[in-house]
Structure formats: structure tokens, C-alpha cells
């Protein structure tokens, strides 16, 4: 059973539908206990890092996720859910960064509105862009999906580079659009809104949860 963590950050329905059509038994729950019983965990979400993290901590969801991931339960963070996997997130300019789930090192920061040569780019980064997958990524979450396939993005913040990066996308900067460490995965784009390629990716995740 795959649990979608419900923390009031929108758009759970499409994720639920996507996983179900990939053959998963899906349960949507806000309960930390439910997360602890899962064979797979999906953390969706759009919106603000600090807000989301506050909810996850208050409800005990954050610790349940940390424990499950440490025990090797497959995890997929989508969009904001990927950001939350990192140590911390810069929300707005003011104040210290907010602590994240800490599954991966580094701080999520704002996407610059210019490239290194000073050319202007639109932020939020909205629309369909390609993902260039590393060799490791191509064997896991992206198995069977063509290199440089288009996925749907909508975000203003980007995850930090690191060893976990397994897919990259270029806008004003080239940023990690997919990450993996062990059986914990994150994607910056929305597979549930990304047509056939997105459906294939969700099916790969569902398959991983069944391999335990």
C-alpha cells in the first residue's frame, strides 16, 4: 500500500489517480501512523516550504517519514515534496532558512531570474521542459523513459546540486530536476501532469514499492 501524505498542500487527486492507474493500492492520509505502515510514501505539494514543513512537524508526519525512509521504505517527493527532502529551504529573503526533512544535504534556494551572461529568464519556471537523466537515474525512476523527455514544471525554487542528483534541467541555471538516494526519490516536475512520460515514471515508482 502506497500512502500519499495529506498535509493540505493541494493537488492530491491527480497524484492518487496516477498511482492507482499504475496498479498501486493507494491511501491518502494525514496520519503519522498511516505513514509508518506504508510500503511506499508519496509527498506531493505546491506552495511554500516553511508552511509545509510546519504542518509536517506539528502532525508528526515529518518524523514518520524520516523513520520510514531510514528503514528503506520507497519514498517519492514531488515538486515541493522534493524540496522538503533537503536540509533546509530559503523561503523569502528575510530570516534564517527553514529546516527540512534532512534526507539529503543542502539548502533549497530561489531560482535566479538571469543566467550567468545576464540574459533574463521568466521565474516561476512554468511549462514543459526536458530532463537529462544520469546513468543511475536511467536505471531507476526513469527506466524505459527516453532521454531528454519533456515533463511539466511549475516552481520558483530549486534544489541544491549534490551526489543524489540523477536528472537535470536547464532554465536560467541548470538545476537538479530529479534526485535519488537509496530508495528515496524526488522530482521537481509533476509526473501526474506530465502525460505518458509522467505515467511511466509513476509506474516505475510503484514497481519499486513492490520489490521490497
Partner 1 sequence: MLAKRVIPCLDVKDGRVVKGVNFVGLRDAGDPIELARRYDEERADEVIFLDITATSDERSTVVDLASRASAELHLPYTVGGGFRSVDDIRQMIAAGADKVSVNSAAVKDPSLITVAARAFGTQAILVAIDAKRVPGAGDKWEVYTAGGRNATGLDAVAWASEAAKRGAGEILLTSMDRDGSREGFDCALTRAVARAVDIPVIASGGVGCLEHFAEGVIEGEADAVLAASVFHFGELSIRDVKEDMAARGIPVRM
Catalytic residues: 79, 190, 192
The residue within the footprint of partner 1, chosen from 61, 98, 194, 204 (CB under 8 A), is 194
Query: Looking at beta carbons only, is 86 or 189 nearer to partner 1?
Result: 189
Task: Name, in order, each residue with C-beta under 8 angstroms of 55's C-beta and a sequence gap of 6 or more.
Answer: 7, 8, 9, 61
171 contacts partner 1 (rule: CB under 8 A): yes
First to last CA, the chain: 12
Chain mean position to CA 186: 3
Question: For 4, phi and psi rounded to 5 degrees?
Answer: -95, 120
Which range binds partner 1 by CB under 8 A, 81-89, 99-107, 145-153, 179-187? 145-153
- Residue numbers 62-91 binding partner 1 by CB under 8 A: none
Q: How far is CA 124 from CA 6, 21, 30, 114, 171, in A?
A: 24, 30, 29, 12, 10
- H-state helical runs in the chain: 12-21, 32-36, 49-59, 61-70, 80-83, 135-139, 195-210
The residue within the footprint of partner 1, chosen from 75, 86, 142, 152 (CB under 8 A), is 152
Which range binds partner 1 by CB under 8 A, 58-66, 83-91, 117-125, 136-144? 117-125
Sign of the CA dihedral 55, 93, 97, 125?
positive
Which range binds partner 1 by CB under 8 A, 95-103, 116-124, 137-145, 180-188? 116-124
Mask of contacts with partner 1, 20-59, x by CB under 8 A?
Answer: --------------------------xxx-----------
Name the site residues for partner 1 (rule: CB under 8 A).
10-11, 13-14, 17-18, 46-48, 113, 120, 122-130, 150, 152-156, 170-171, 190, 192-196, 198-199
Amino acid at each position: 500500500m502506497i500512502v500519499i501524505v495529506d498535509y493540505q498542500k493541494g493537488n492530491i487527486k491527480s497524484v492518487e489517480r496516477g498511482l492507482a492507474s499504475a496498479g498501486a493500492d493507494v491511501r491518502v492520509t494525514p496520519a503519522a501512523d498511516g505513514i509508518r505502515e506504508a510500503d511506499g510514501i508519496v509527498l506531493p505539494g505546491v506552495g511554500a516550504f516553511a508552511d509545509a514543513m510546519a504542518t509536517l512537524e506539528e502532525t508528526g508526519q515529518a518524523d514518520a517519514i524520516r523513520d520510514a525512509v531510514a528503514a528503506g521504505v520507497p519514498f517519492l517527493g514531488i515538486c515541493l515534496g522534493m524540496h522538503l527532502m533537503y536540509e533546509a529551504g530559503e523561503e523569502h529573503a528575510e530570516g534564517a532558512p527553514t529546516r527540512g526533512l534532512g534526507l539529503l544535504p543542502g539548502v533549497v534556494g530561489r531560482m535566479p531570474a538571469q543566467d550567468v551572461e545576464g540574459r533574463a529568464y521568466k521565474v516561476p519556471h512554468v511549462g514543459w521542459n526536458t530532463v537529462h537523466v544520469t546513468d543511475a537515474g536511467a536505471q531507476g525512476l526513469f527506466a524505459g523513459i527516453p532521454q531528454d523527455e519533456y515533463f511539466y514544471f511549475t516552481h520558483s525554487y530549486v534544489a541544491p546540486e549534490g551526489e543524489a542528483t540523477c536528472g537535470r534541467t536547464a532554465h536560467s541555471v541548470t538545476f537538479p530536476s530529479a534526485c535519488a538516494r537509496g530508495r528515496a526519490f524526488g522530482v521537481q516536475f509533476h509526473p501526474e501532469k506530465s502525460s505518458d512520460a509522467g505515467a511511466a515514471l509513476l509506474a516505475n515508482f510503484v514497481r519499486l514499492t513492490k520489490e521490497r
